[in-house]
Amino acid sequence: MGKNIMIVGVGGQGSLLASRILGNAVMLEGYDVKVSEVHGMSQRGGSVVTYVKFGESVASPVICKGEADIIMSFELLEAARWLPYLKKDGTIITNTQQINPMPVITGAAEYPADLVEKMRAKGVNVIAADALSIAREAGSEKAVNVALIGLMSHALGFDRDTLVKAIKMSVPEKFLELNMKAFELGEAGSAQ
Amino acid sequence: MKKLMLGNEAVARGLYEAGVKLVSSYPGTPSTEVTEAAAKYEEIYAEWAPNEKVALEVALGAAIGGGRSFCGMKHVGLNVAADPLFITAYTGVNGGMVIGVADDPGMHSSQNEQDSRHYARAAKLPIVEPSDSGECLEFTKLAYEYSEKFDTPFILRLNTRVSHSQSLVELSERAEKDVKPYEKSVAKHVMMPANARGRHVVVEDRLKELSAFACDCPFNKVVDNNTKLGIITSGPSYTYALEVFGDSASYLKLGLVYPFADELIKDFAAKHERVIVIEELDPFIEEHCKALGLNVEGKNLLPLLGEFSQELIAEKLLDKSAEFTALDEAIPVRPPVLCPGCPHRGIFYIFKKLGLYVSGDIGCYTLGAAAPLSAMDTTLCMGASISALHGYNKIRGEENKSVAVIGDSTFMHSGMTGLVNITYNKGNSTVVIVDNSITGMTGHQQNPCTGFTLKGEPVHGIMLENIARAAGVADEHIRIVDPNNLKEVEKVLKEELNSGTPSVIICRKPCALLKYVKHEPALKVDTDKCIGCKACMKIGCPCISVVNGKAKIDATLCVGCGLCPQMCPKDAIKGGM
Ligand SMILES: Cc1ncc(C[n+]2csc(CCOP(=O)(O)OP(=O)(O)O)c2C)c(N)n1
Ligand code: SF4
Ligand code: SF4
């Protein structure tokens, strides 16, 4: 078993922790892994993507159209933007938070309505939740990363213990309790 | 021990394990993290130089002095460092030396696409190219060994995908290297014609030796799977080809790209019915194969532009296209923007308001070129804002309607020589330095103005106003303003544009993302007062949108910088919630 996972969002939203947790979980499971990030210009509020690929042996670090098993998105429009990268039968896990891009702000374009419904109408598996509220409930907006990992846990198919261990490896001790709570709330959210 | 590491971190680990003593670099995406990671090793002295030419010269001096040294930069940095680069081939080294240069196919964060391999051939230096983090570490260490053996610097060519991908690497201990003895040798180190003529002979002889070495070296590898299809490739392209062809093709993977392993290449080509060269950017390997008289394909099938991927190779070589789902409607693009609270925002609004010709430069503030600010006429290369404005004004005489805008790091890199040119050659241009006390665009590196070194030690930061004074700008025309005070900025700008003498306006306010910058609570729009005129939206802050005809501020993003209330004619934007 191997999987291709994309983590997408808006530059500055801080998806680094999510990719670190995934990377650690995959190593614990003993797979070969490659993680590809984008630094630089797009970190200033642009559309950003991280690829996490694992399996027996991984050659290319990038994921192309129709290759992702899971797309985890920090923002709704970004989920729709990267949809073409999803495999048939793949799953999108998305935060329902909306951040307007500049063309929407200046009035040159509109933020498309009902994106979750439109993706589902195309036959795509979509798990959508307000991860920001989950994180707030857990104690801090910063826990969005781990809330989304919780939402993804079923689709990922790892041992729960592996994920918990990977979270422990990746977050500072003093934020562990808060993050574990966000993880559990996310997990519960995805089961619905 | 195995560790998941970024390509750039693996290079730094290679520097550590190879016993490197000195690193001097200038930041540039995607190369920056090599030097940042190297600085974390106590055993390595590491610094940010003001530009790449200085960095390379520092590293060469260290190598002549007998220590192993490194300098890192992005592709365009090598243009700046080209002068010392060419000389290194003549002087050779003493302690080993590696020059790391990271190309950016696809221009994720660059002003051009440029293939650094041409520099290796032009400067007659060996160049090696890893494909993943494991090779980043391995090749770096090997490069030091052979740098000393052949008495030449090695160029380590990185690439956005290799630099910024993590893969597993095997760590070893550091092999401490004593500083080698220094022996004075005028014939080797003093490059004047009589000596250089002798050294050029050495350079050509060395290239021949390296070319023979290339045919049997640990950098190159042949994977023989069949005789039908042979692929000659290097760097990340190897991983894409492997994903598409697996063991249905044979591979000649060139790790030492130049000088070419002629015999190896000829031998490989002879064994395969069809040979395709898969390389990003220019047909560097392909053209050499053709010069060898080999019948190879390459750019007749694959593009010269942009980044490759397994999808692209499958499409171009196997005519296979990807299957995917997409929504029917267009998804609005999300270009990068200046952060909420960015100190660069206000000045660009004023430039636009005054209708100025803006000679721009490279940094976060280049985003002032984008709508709705749209206040930039040119962005060329680092430092060119000031020098090009001088040329523009000598032709058009529009000193009262034009400015150069440049960041603090960029001014130190190569802007100050342009300023000297203005004062020396009787120019009257106005230069605006947007001093946010950091090198922002590349991810917040210290620079000579910030008061800290790369290793975090406090130093006496250089004051930009002192440089302006030393360059000959009169005291009363060196103005320091708070860029978030729009009235003041406009007033000072008008005064200096009309002063008829060279002037420097320093907009001083730290970048909003710096840890020590305290953010204010989000501001709020009083919907009773707001008339929906959208005046506040002219500054292009990503926090402000219009909902039901009234401005709305996103409280999760706003940092309370206080700029938008200055735009509102009805005093509708207020602090606190
Ligand atoms: C020759 C060269 N070296 C490096 C870079 C990468 N680079 C782009 S902008 C920049 C510096 C930006 O710093 P600053 O001028 O202080 O502006 P800021 O981004 O902080 O607004 C660097 C290093 C480049 N484009 N060209
Ligand atoms: S990083 Fe700093 S300088 Fe760059 S856009 Fe953001 S606030 Fe402005
Ligand atoms: S105060 Fe206004 S301009 Fe500043 S960050 Fe908030 S919304 Fe943007």
Q: What is the pLDDT of residues B347-377, one digit of tens each?
A: 999 999 999 999 999 999 999 999 999 999 9
CB-CB contact of B31 with B41 (8 Å) = no
For residue B441, which ligand has an atom nearest its CA?
A: 1
Angle at B269 between CA B265 and CA B273, to 5 degrees: 165
Helix, strand, or coil (residue A131)? helix
Atom of ligand 2 nearest to the CA of B436: 3
For residue A143, the enclosing domain spans: 3-191
DSSP β-ladder status, B402-407 and B378-379? unpaired
Rounded Cα distance between A11 and B367, Å, is 14
Which tokens belong to A114? 């009902």
Atom of ligand 2 nearest to the CA of B363: 4
Q: Is the Cβ–Cβ distance between B99 and B154 less than 8 Å?
A: yes
A128 pairs with which residues across the strands? A94
- Chain A residue numbers touching B544 (CB-CB < 8 A): 105
Q: Do A37 and B168 touch (CB under 8 A)?
A: no
B437 lines ligand 1 (CB under 6 A): no
Are B169 and B248 in a shared domain? no
Q: Are residues B35 and B18 in the same domain?
A: yes
Distance from C-alpha of B317 to C-alpha of B441, rounded to nearest angstrom = 37
Q: B80: Cβ below 6 Å to ligand 1?
A: yes
Question: In A, residues 60-89, which contact B (CB 8 Å cutoff)?
Answer: 60-62, 64-67, 77-78, 80-81, 83-86, 88
Which structure tokens are listed for A28? Answer: 């614990």
Taking alpha carbons only, the member of B43, B31, B42, B39 closest to residue B6 is B31
Q: How far apart are CA B545 and CA B395, in angstroms?
A: 42
Residues B174 and B39 in one domain: yes
B272 with B378, same domain: the answer is no
Domain-located, residue B424: yes
**B543 CA from centroid of ligand 3 (Å):** 6
Picking from B165, B326, B443, the nearest residue to A35 by CB comes out as: B165
Ligand index nearest the alpha carbon of residue B520: 3
The answer to whether residue B333 sits within a structural domain is: no
Half-sphere exposure of residue B450, counting CA atoms within 13 Å on the CB side?
A: 25
Output the DSSP codes for A84-128. GGEEEEEEEEEE------HHHHTTSS-PPS-HHHHHHHTT-EEEE
Domain range for residue B554? 524-574
Does A123 contact B at CB distance below 8 Å?
yes
Contact between residue B404 and residue B359 where contact means Cβ atoms under 8 Å apart: yes
Q: Residue B362 Cα, ligand 1 centroid: separation in angstroms?
A: 5
What is the structure's pLDDT at B576? Answer: 61
Q: Are strands B2-6 and B229-233 parallel, antiparallel or unpaired?
A: unpaired
Query: Over 60: is that where the pLDDT of A192 sits?
Result: no
- Do residue B142 and residue B240 come from a single domain? no
Write down the pLDDT at residue A106. 85
Tell whether A45 lies on the interface with B, counting CB pairs under 8 A. yes
CA nearest to A50 within chain B: B165
Question: A40 vs B331: CB contact, 8 Å cut-off?
Answer: no
Scanning A136-175 for CB atoms below 8 A from B yields 141
Residue B385, domain member (yes or no): yes
d(CA B409, CA B511): 13
CATH of the domain at B286: 3.40.50.920
List the pLDDT tens digit at each of the 577 positions of chain B.
789 999 999 999 999 999 999 999 999 999 999 999 999 999 999 999 999 999 999 999 999 999 999 999 999 999 999 999 999 999 999 999 999 999 999 999 999 999 999 999 999 999 999 999 999 999 999 999 999 999 999 999 999 999 999 999 999 999 999 999 999 999 999 999 999 999 999 999 999 999 999 999 999 999 999 999 999 999 999 999 999 999 999 999 999 999 999 999 999 999 999 999 999 999 999 999 999 999 999 999 999 999 999 999 999 999 999 999 999 999 999 999 999 999 999 999 999 999 999 999 999 999 999 999 999 999 999 999 999 999 999 999 999 999 999 999 999 999 999 999 999 999 999 999 999 999 999 999 999 999 999 999 999 999 999 999 999 999 999 999 999 999 999 999 999 999 999 999 999 999 999 999 999 999 999 999 999 999 999 999 999 998 889 999 999 899 999 999 999 999 999 986 4
- What CATH number does the domain containing A166 carry? 3.40.920.10
Nearest Cβ partner for A83 among B108, B323, B327:
B327
Nearest CA among B465, B288, B432 for reference residue B357: B432
Both B541 and B449 in one domain: the answer is no
Specify whether B184 is located in the same domain as B244: no
Are B153 and B319 in contact by the 8 Å Cβ rule? The answer is no
- Separation CA B95–CA B180 (nearest Å): 6
Question: Can you give the CATH number for the domain in which B400 is found?
Answer: 3.40.50.970
If asked whether residues B36 and B134 sit together in one domain, one would say yes
Task: Specify the 3-state DSSP secondary structure of A137.
Answer: helix
Spell out which residues line ligand 2, taking CB within 6 angstroms: A 44; B 338-339, 342, 344, 364, 436, 440, 511-513
* Pure H helices in B65-108: 75-80, 82-91
How many A/B residue pairs have CB atoms within 8 Å? Answer: 181
**What does DSSP assign to residue B456?**
-
Quick one: B205 and B239 in the same domain?
no
Mutate to test the interface with A, among B34, B75, B334 (most CBs of A within 10 A): B334
How far apart are the C-alpha atoms of B212 and B129, rounded to whole Å? 18
- Could you give the percent of chain A with pLDDT greater than 90? 82
- Contact between A100 and B545 using a beta-carbon 8 Å cutoff: yes
Contacts of residue A169, Cβ cutoff 8 Å, sequence gap at least 6: A21, A24
Q: Report the nearest-CA residue for atom 8 of ligand 2.
A: B342
Number of domains in chain B: 4
In the prediction, which pLDDT does B577 show? 47
Q: Please give the DSSP secondary-structure letter assigned to residue B273.
A: S
**Ligand 3 centroid distance, CA of B222 (Å):** 58
- As beta bridge partners, residue B25 has B48
Whether residues B11 and B144 fall in one domain: yes
Residue B123 lies in a domain: yes
For A172, B17, B23, B135, the CA distances from B171, given in Å and listed in that order, are 24, 9, 20, 12
Are residues B209 and B92 part of one domain? Answer: yes
Which band of pLDDT confidence, cut at 50, 70 and 90, is reported for residue A191? Answer: low
Q: Rounded to a whole number, what is the distance in Å from the CA of A46 to chain B's nearest CA?
A: 4
* B517 lies in some domain: no
Nearest CA residue ID for atom 1, ligand 1: B77
For residue B402, is it within any domain?
yes
d(CA B111, CA B336): 15
- Distance (Å, rounded) from C-alpha B366 to C-alpha B147? 39
Contact list in A for residue B339 (CB cut-off 8 A) is: 12, 44-45
CB atoms within 10 A of CB A128: 20
Give yes or no for A31 touching B (CB within 8 A).
Answer: no
Q: Domain for residue B335, yes or no?
A: no
At A99-123, the pLDDT tens digits run 999 999 888 899 999 999 999 999 9
Chain A residues closer than 8 Å to B335 by CB? 46, 101-103
Helix and strand totals (H; E) in chain A: 8, 6
The identity of residue B521, as a single letter, is: P
Residues B304 and B399 in one domain: no
Does the structure's ipTM exceed the value 0.90?
yes
How many structural domains compose chain A?
1
Mean predicted confidence (pLDDT) in A12-39: 89
pTM over 0.95: yes
Residue nearest to atom 21 of ligand 1 (CA): B364
pLDDT, one tens digit per residue, over B191-240 is 999 999 999 999 999 999 999 999 999 999 999 999 999 999 999 999 99
CB atoms within 10 A of CB B189: 18
Cα→Cα distances B414→A29, B387, B435, B508, Å: 50, 10, 15, 19
Burial B322-361 (b: 16+ CB within 10 A, else e): eebbebeeebbebbbbbbbbbbbbbbbbbbbeeebbbbbb
